[in-house]
Structure 1
Amino acid sequence: MKILVVGAGATGGWFGGLPADAGLDVTFLVRPGRAAVLRERGLRITGLGTDLTVTPRLVTAGELTGPYGLVLFSVKSTAIGQAIEDVSPAIGPTTAIVPLLNGMAHIGELNARFGERAVLGGVAMIVTTLNDHGDIVRLAPMANLTIGEQGGGPSARVDEIHALLSGAGVEVHTSDDITAEMWHKWVFITAVGALTCLMRGTVGDVTAVPGGAGLGPAILAEAAAVAAASGNPVPKEKIAFAEELLTRAGSPFASSMYRDVVEGRPTEVEHLFGDLLTRARALSVATPLLDLATMHLRVHQHRTAGD
Structure 2
Amino acid sequence: MRLLVVGAGATGGYFGARLVRAGRDVTFLVRPGRAAVLRERGLRIKGSGEDDRITPRLVTAGELRDSYDVILLSVKATALARAMDDIAPAVGASTSVLPVLNGIGHLDQLSARFGEESVLGGVALLATSVDAQGDIAVLAPGATLTIGELSGGGELRADRALELLSGAGFEVTAVNNILAEMWGKWVFIATAGAITCLMRGTVGDIVSVPGGTDFARAVLAETGAVAAAAGFPLAEKQHAVIQNTVTQPGSPFAPSFYRDVAVGRSTEVEHVFGDLIRRAAALSVDTPLMDLATMHLRVHQHRLAAGNSP
| Matched AA of 1:201 | G
Equivalent-residue separation in structure 2 for 1:134 and 1:193 (angstroms): 24
| Matched AA of 1:26 | V
Q: Deviations over 1:275-299 (max 9, x none)?
A: 0111000000000000011110000
| Matched AA of 1:162 | L
| Matched AA of 2:123 | V
Cross-structure match for 1:196: 196
Q: Deviations over 1:174-222 (max 9, x none)?
A: 1101011101100000000001000000000101111111111110110
Cα deviation for residue 134 of structure 1 reads 0.7
Correspondence 1:176-215 to 2 at 5 A: 176-215=176-215
Matched residue of 2:96: which SS? Answer: strand
Quote the RMSD (CA, aligned, Å).
1.1
Matched residue of 1:92: which SS? Answer: coil
Range with bigger deviation, 16-25 or 283-292:
16-25
Cross-structure match for 1:303: 303
Correspondence 1:13-162 to 2 at 5 A: 13-151=13-151, 155-162=155-162
Say whether the 8 Å CA contact 2:96–2:161 is kept in structure 1.
Answer: no
Range with bigger deviation, 188-197 or 134-143:
134-143
1:239 aligned to 2:239? Answer: yes
Cα deviation for residue 127 of structure 1 reads 1.0
| Matched AA of 1:118 | S
Aligned residues: 307
Cα deviation for residue 152 of structure 1 reads 6.4
Say whether the 8 Å CA contact 2:142–2:170 is kept in structure 1.
Answer: no
Q: Which runs of 5+ in 1 are unaligned?
A: none
| Matched AA of 2:136 | I
Say whether the 8 Å CA contact 1:193–1:255 is kept in structure 2.
Answer: yes
Cα deviation for residue 17 of structure 1 reads 1.0
TM-score norm. by structure 2 comes to 0.97
Equivalent-residue separation in structure 2 for 1:170 and 1:58 (angstroms): 22
Cross-structure match for 1:167: 167
- Percentage of identical aligned residues: 61
| Matched AA of 1:271 | H
Equivalent-residue separation in structure 2 for 1:12 and 1:95 (angstroms): 18
Cα deviation for residue 306 of structure 1 reads 1.0
| Matched AA of 2:63 | E
Q: Which runs of 5+ in 2 are unaligned?
A: none
Cross-structure match for 1:262: 262
Equivalent-residue separation in structure 2 for 1:88 and 1:269 (angstroms): 26
Matched residue of 1:94: which SS? Answer: coil
Say whether the 8 Å CA contact 2:228–2:234 is kept in structure 1.
Answer: yes
Say whether the 8 Å CA contact 2:4–2:27 is kept in structure 1.
Answer: yes
| Matched AA of 2:294 | T
Equivalent-residue separation in structure 1 for 2:4 and 2:107 (angstroms): 18
Equivalent-residue separation in structure 2 for 1:285 and 1:168 (angstroms): 42
Equivalent-residue separation in structure 2 for 1:74 and 1:161 (angstroms): 15
